[in-house]
Structures are given as structure tokens and as C-alpha cells.
Structure 1
């Protein structure tokens, strides 16, 4: 499989017709059809249903199309960024992040960074904590903000804060009738929604490990693909969900209560490559310390432990 085949497939998926796709690609139709056939043979699945007019993607084809578009888009970003640096144009900083950091911390930091370095091209890329480690080592991102501790020798991790965990509860559920903190034992026998789905090791695993440490057993585990989906399921009364406290502002049709218990927190961690000499790493660390010194509302001690970043100089 190569990028040319991905481009060919995306053209066919867009045009829903081999002839029009070949014209858009400025190639003959037979080699286009042959490349799509080779792609399907390599994958071992049919991507395009050829029995309909216009052509229709199979379920596997729709998934492959979505992923192919992301890959081609990322390649284009890489090409543009490389040209900019090679032509001594704007420097580029690619920031990986988990979605929950968008609700406290990351947006004000990015604003400060834009003000400090207006010529810096800052690109934000949503990745799970585990994906960020691999992306750093592959050079696809420059820094990452995740929630999973690691011991990778090629990636430096700095703990920025320990955020308390909260329970998202349907508004009409018995546990939703109060505002004080819940003991972790209250989750015994609850139907628990976890996220993200199919990511190992991720936030869902952290949550389940914490419950096992407290000998708490949910009655059922439901996996959701992302945070917003999990909270939507809570609003639909499908169960309860443990989230970082900052996420409590996401939905007004869900009730939130902090959870009391040892280690019932979620870390926010700054990661970057070992021995990265980019001056922007130091700039980011400096701005983080300035931001934390301002004691913004999202850092209040009701929702965070009194942990502050300590960077070596």
C-alpha cells in the first residue's frame, strides 16, 4: 500500500465513478481500476461495491476512506511545514492533546504562546495519550499534553497538575440529588461508561484500575469512543461516567459530583522528546509556569490537588 493508492481510492470515493475519477487524476481508467483491485487484495476486503450506479463504498470502504483522508491530510501538513522551514519562513510547532485538556489549561496556554511568538505556526492535533508518545518519537508532533504516565526513555514527561475526578450522573438518578463529594464506594454496582474505546493503555484503563484498587465493581462496563459520546450516554440515562473535573462544564443536562478516594485524580502531563533542542520547548515551560502563577479559576483547589509544575533549569 502506498500514498498513490490512497489518493486513487479517495478520488474514486469522491467521484463514485471510475471514469470521472480517472479524468480528475489525469490517468487512464484501466490502471486506476487495477490499483484499487490490488489495494483490496492486499487488505483482503472489498472496499467498493461495483454493482450499483453510482458506485457505493462498503462498510470497510467507508472506514478506510475516513482513515485515508486523515493520512493524506497529515502528509500535506508535513509537506507544507517542511517547505516553510526549508525556505526560512515561519517555524512550526505541532501540539498533540487529549480532548479533556481543551476545557482547562490548553487554550490559555496556546493564546499566550501566540502572543509571545506571533511568527510561530501552531498546529493542534488531537491524539490519545498513548498515540502522543509514538507521535513524538516519529516526529509528527513536537509536544504533547496527555493523561497517562509513561516510562519511555526517549520522551520526557512533566507532571503539570493532578486533577480530581468527578462522576457524571443522569439528572434524575438517585446519586444526582446532591452536590457534595461522593465516596468511591458509591460506584459499586453502577453501570459504568468508559472512554476512549479500543485504546490501550488509556483513560478507560486508568479508571478501571482505580476502581479495582478500591475493590469497587460496576455492574456493567459500556465503552464509548470519546468523552462527548460518553456524556451523551449519561444524559440518555445509560449509566454513569468518571471524568476529569474540568469536563463538568460540557453538558448542562448531566449532574456532576466530585469523587472522594485515594488517588482518584487524573494527571495532566507535558511530554516532549528527550534532548530536543528547540527553543520553543523552553518557551512553553516558561509560559506554563507564568500561567500557573496567575492561579486561574480552573486551578482551584476544590478540583485540583495543590500540585504545580517543577521544571529543571
Structure 2
């Protein structure tokens, strides 16, 4: 089996059509069809069901697709890192993060790591589920997110629980005192991110639902900055992690909640069973110090 077989298979699986896949790959259709047939014979499994309206993946094909994509991603990441190392003579350490964790002490960790002149830090803004896939493919070395993702190939460590606060339009009546979840449920709500879960939006919805409260979502947006801009436009409120208050805006007020125990976790994700190298050991040491500072209320 060659890498081209995996690339051909992924293209056909994405297009569900040999002709379109051949056009995407810039090859003729007959050799593409033969390559897929050879792949099926080598694996001993039928990967596609041929139907009049196109191709469908078998259960084995769906499983093979997920792992083929990971292998190709790993190859691309390895090639990119090799080129970086060759040109810079540096070790690459890649970090995935969701934006809301980058308003706290994570930038300090990055600054301290960058003091090592032989180390190049690469940052990737990724949702937690995307971080899990990026860890498995080798695109990143560690990820920071908020959502629990069950995957045997990835370990998630809870660093600490962070209180949620309400972001409200400046001078809104509810900024006079900490609002209750019930009071907030009577307002229009802006949630982020939009799209398929699990994500931060699902976590926030669950906090209201477990209290028997129904929220009126007026807008779903892709990112925190857009959500805050809509709050500033007096369209509603949103809930954000406490460290986001460092993102100062004149048109938005951050208010603690009256209800106790309204928190979200900060999680570190790493590849399962991987022995930490020197860079990861340094990262873990810095993290332990930063977490201790956060829990004790000491900020740099």
C-alpha cells in the first residue's frame, strides 16, 4: 500500500464519485478505479457500495476513511515540521487552544517556552474536538479546551474550574447587582460557537436546562468577539469564562452571577501513553506553577 492509495481513497470517499475524484486528483478515471480495487483487494474489505446514484461507504470504509485522513494529516505535519527544523534548526512545539483560555495565563506559558532559543512555538486556534483529532494526527503536541471528549488515544486533565460571568450591555439594569440564572433566562441570549457539538454552547445550555430554565437564543455566532459585539449592540447577553473580563470593552460590562457553582473546566489534552520529552516536561512544570497561581488567586 502506498500513500497515493490513501489519497485516492480519501478523494473518492469525499466526492462519492470516481469521475469527480479523478478530476480533483488530475488523473484519468480508469487508473483511479484500478487503484481503489487494488486497495480493497489488499485490505480484503469492500470499501464502497456501488449504486446508480453514486458511491456509499461501507462500515469498514467509514472506519478506514477516518484513519486514512489521520495518517495523511500526520504525514503532512511531519513534512512541514521537517522543513521548519531544516530551515530554522529548531524543535517545533505546537499548541492548540480555544480562544477563551487565551485571556488568562496561557500567554505567559508561551512566553516562557519561547525563552528557549532552540524551540519554535506554533499556535493553532482549534475547538476541543478539533484538538483531539490534531493530537492524534500529530498536528499539535498539547491542547487547551473546555469540553470533555472521550477518546482512548487522548488523555484530558482538568487544570481547574473557572467561574462563568455574564457579559451585559453597559448600564443594563442587571449590572447593578449579580444577576441570577433565572433573571438572565428572561433576556435574549447570544451563544457561541455555532455548529455541531459538543461545544461551549452546549455546556452553557446545559447549565440553564439543569435548573429547569429555558433560554431564548436570539443569535448563534462562531466566536467570542462577535458575541461581545452583539452584546454591545444591546441584542442580549452572553456567558463567558471569568478570564475573558481581561478583554476590556467600554460598551460591555462583566458581572458575576448570583448563583453559586456556575463554572466551566479548563482542560489540557495530550496523547495517551506518550512518554513526555524534555519540552513536554518543561511545559508540564510551567503549567503546574500557573495552575497553582490561578487557584491561589495570584496572577502575574
Q: TM-score, normalised by structure 1?
A: 0.67
Q: Does 1:261 align with 2:259?
A: yes
Aligned to 1:272: 270
CA distance in 1, matches of 2:88, 2:184: 56
Aligned residue runs from structure 1 range 210-289, under 5 A: 210-250=207-247, 251-279=249-277, 280-289=279-288
Aligned to 1:150: 149
Q: How far off its partner does 1:77 sit? A: 6.9
The count of residues paired between Structure 1 and Structure 2 equals 234
- 1:289 match: secondary structure: helix
- 1:182 match: secondary structure: coil
Q: TM-score, normalised by structure 2?
A: 0.69
Relative to 1, partners in 2 of residues 1:172 and 1:84: Cα closer, same or farther, differing over 3 Å?
Answer: closer
Among 179, 199, 202, the alignment partner of 2:199 is 202
CA distance in 1, matches of 2:87, 2:225: 41
Choose 95-104 or 150-159, whichever is displaced more: 150-159
Q: How far off its partner does 1:80 sit? A: 3.6
Aligned residue runs from structure 1 range 99-248, under 5 A: 99-115=99-115, 117-176=116-175, 178=176, 180-248=177-245
CA distance in 2, matches of 1:267, 1:82: 35
Q: How far off its partner does 1:78 sit? A: 5.3
- 1:151 match: secondary structure: coil
- 1:229 match: secondary structure: helix
Cα deviation per residue 1:37-88 (whole Å; 9 max; x = unaligned)?
945xxxxxxxxxxxxxxxxxxxxxxxxxxxxxxxxxx998753412345799
CA distance in 1, matches of 2:167, 2:83: 46
Q: How far off its partner does 1:215 sit? A: 1.3
1:195, 1:230 within 8 Å by CA — same for their partners in 2?
A: yes
**Structure 1 runs not aligned, ≥5 long:** 4-34, 40-73, 304-313
Relative to 1, partners in 2 of residues 1:188 and 1:87: Cα closer, same or farther, differing over 3 Å?
Answer: closer
Cα deviation per residue 1:237-293 (whole Å; 9 max; x = unaligned)?
111001001112322210111124354111111111012224122211111122344
CA RMSD of aligned residues (A): 3.1
CA distance in 1, matches of 2:172, 2:289: 41
